[in-house]
Amino acid sequence: MGLNNSNLINLVEQVIGAEACAWVMKLMTIPSGFAEWKNGSVSRKELAQALNMVLFHDLLMRVPTGRQYTEEVSARGGKVFHDHGALRTVRWIDNGALPPGESAFTRILGPLGYRLNGVFPLDRIGMTGRSYAQQDSPDEIAQFFVSELHPEKFSVTFQATVSRVLSSSRDPLSPKSQGVLHELARDGRLGFDDGVALLPELKACFARQHDIPSLADYEILLSESAEMAWIATEGNVFNHVTDRVDDLLRVTREQNALQRPMKQAIEVSKSGRIRQTAFKADPVLRDFRADDGQIVAREVPGSFYEFITRAHYIDSVEDARKLDLGFDAANAQGIFKMTAAS
């Protein structure tokens, strides 16, 4: 269902091209609600789904382990179900032209129909996580898990280093696109041409916006926070995407048998309804400025691919059976370790 939604296809093709769009459509489950569309305009949920597809493609291009797994699922005649994507931000005033913390993304997610779905203190790593669910189709359109790092919880030296690294940040969202987002928030729809022009700028927000960090600054950040060190090299790219699977134990056994770099233990929420595991982050080469001003390369952790199982529960208020779309702080902090530098 929804595979022939011309709005969705045309939006995604404008950003990643026809061949890559066809590839992603083959790999991902497209929610049934996209079986109908309106020519000449795009809805907020179409833009939300298109952005998720573009960002899912971006991560697969950066994470060979995840790409291999996803293509294997497709080769067996299946599709992955994108449950959520995660990104990291820094709530800090010295953030250049970029709005601090998650505010750089709530200005995007709100107009796309996303609403706050949960707040998760990540105290062990000095962060706060928040999940956002798309209101038009919360069970089927991928959520966003946006985390903020709080430099004030670390040393004064660390804080000064964060300022040095982030102060060069640029804002990829133009004033025109900010105006278009306001119209989308108001009307729930955009003219097709406006949607096509907006999507590449939305994708550009999920990137590193600051200059190449110095190796010395990276080492300072790494000594106190693996998460801030990761942000220094990767910025606001998707930290991971997540395949919602029916049998997490089976997937784990299969991937371990293939000797994939899997997390050793499955994270289980307090409710017992949410179970998560992941591949370890694929290593990437990143540039740094050395003390003499030369550019040097170093291998650091990149992004990774996650797996999740969600169970249903009975909502006592509405007396209805619902899918648990929540998250768990302990689970999240365990998953975050996938990007810890060796």
Domains and CATH numbers, the chain: 82-339 (3.10.180.50)
- Structure-token match 């302990």, residue found: 330
Segment 287-294 shows an average pLDDT of 96
98-111 residue pLDDT tens: 999 999 999 999 99
- pLDDT higher than 80, residue 1: no
The residues pairing with 321 across neighbouring beta strands, listed in sequence order, are: 314
Q: In what helix (H) or strand (E) does residue 8 lie, and over which residues does it extend?
A: helix 6-16
pLDDT of residue 133: 98
Least confident of 28-37, 101-110, 239-248: 28-37
Rounded Cα–Cα distance for residues 209 and 237 (Å): 10
Beta-carbon contacts of 29 under 8 Å, excluding residues fewer than 6 positions away, are: 79, 80, 81, 82
Check residue 341 and give its pLDDT.
58
Predicted pLDDT at 333: 87
Q: Could you tell me if 149 and 124 are in contact, meaning their C-beta atoms sit under 8 angstroms apart?
A: no
Q: How large is the average pLDDT for residues 263-267?
A: 90
Q: Which DSSP letter does residue 246 get?
A: S
- pLDDT tens, residue by residue, 49-64: 999 999 999 999 999 9
User: CA 284 to CA 291: how far, in whole Å?
Assistant: 22
Distance CA 117, CA 271 (A): 17
Residue 211 clears pLDDT 90, i.e. is over it? yes
Q: How far apart are CA 297 and CA 247, in angstroms?
A: 40
pLDDT digits over 80-103, tens only? 999 999 999 999 999 999 999 999
Q: What is the mean pLDDT of residues 330-337?
A: 86
Structure tokens at 143: 């959520």
Classify residue 229 by burial, with Cβ atoms within 10 Å: 0-12, 13-18, 19+.
buried
Quote the pLDDT of residue 266: 93
CB-based contact 280:263 (threshold 8 Å): yes
Q: What is the mean pLDDT of residues 17-34?
A: 95
What is the C-alpha separation between 144 and 122, in angstroms, rounded?
Answer: 16
pLDDT value of position 3:
57
Q: Rounded to 5 degrees, what are φ and ψ at 41?
A: -150, 160
Map residue 114 onto helix, strand or coil.
Answer: strand
Q: Looking at residue 17, what is its pLDDT? A: 97
State the average pLDDT over residues 150-160.
98
2 pLDDT above the threshold of 50: no
